[in-house]
Amino acid sequence: MTGRGSSRDRRFVAEHRGGSLLRHDHHSLALWAATCAERVLTMVWTDDEDGRPLGAVRQARAWARGEVSAAPVMRAAVAAHAAAREATGAKIATARAAGHAAGTVHMGDHCLVAADYALKAAAQAGMDVERERRWQERALPGGVRILVMDARG
């Protein structure tokens, strides 16, 4: 869910689920979401505090590389969201970004939520949000750039 209404954007539904999202593009979305989440995560959350958010990011990347199935990634997403419930301040949004990055494996539109939470974390950490948004846009892989930019509005 993107928080932009109750219906899913069918462009983010994977082919194997009856949608039009190609496997390669799905992997690209997961990698982009992981990159957005990790960028803010490493600024406000150290791995020795709680490894669950960074673990979710790592699992999303491993899935995109074909190294793991979706099941362990989804468990990592749940764990990152549990970490968010236990966190305070900007750490909440960074853990949510990581959880949604991993959730992108299940449904591609979670990448949008991951990026939005990364922006929220940036704001809470005192970073320049517009600069971060521009960085996110530059980091988009070419094959999914139009899809994401159109969905973001």
Q: What is the mean pLDDT of the chain?
A: 93
Q: How far is CA 94 from the centre of its chain?
A: 10
Please report the pLDDT score of residue 153 as a whole number: 87
Q: Note the pLDDT of residue 1.
A: 38
pLDDT of 4: 47
Task: List, as one string, the DSSP characters of 112-147.
Answer: HHHHHHHHHHHHHTT--HHHHHHHHHHHS-HHHHHH
pTM listed for this prediction: 0.93
Q: What value does the mean pLDDT take over residues 43-66?
A: 90
- pLDDT (tens digit per residue) in 55-112: 999 999 999 999 999 999 999 999 999 999 999 999 999 999 999 999 999 999 999 9
Give CA–CA dist 26/106, Å, rounded: 10
**Buried residues in 4-17 as b, exposed as e (16+ CB within 10 A):** eeeeebebbbbeee
The residue extents of the domains of the chain are 10-148
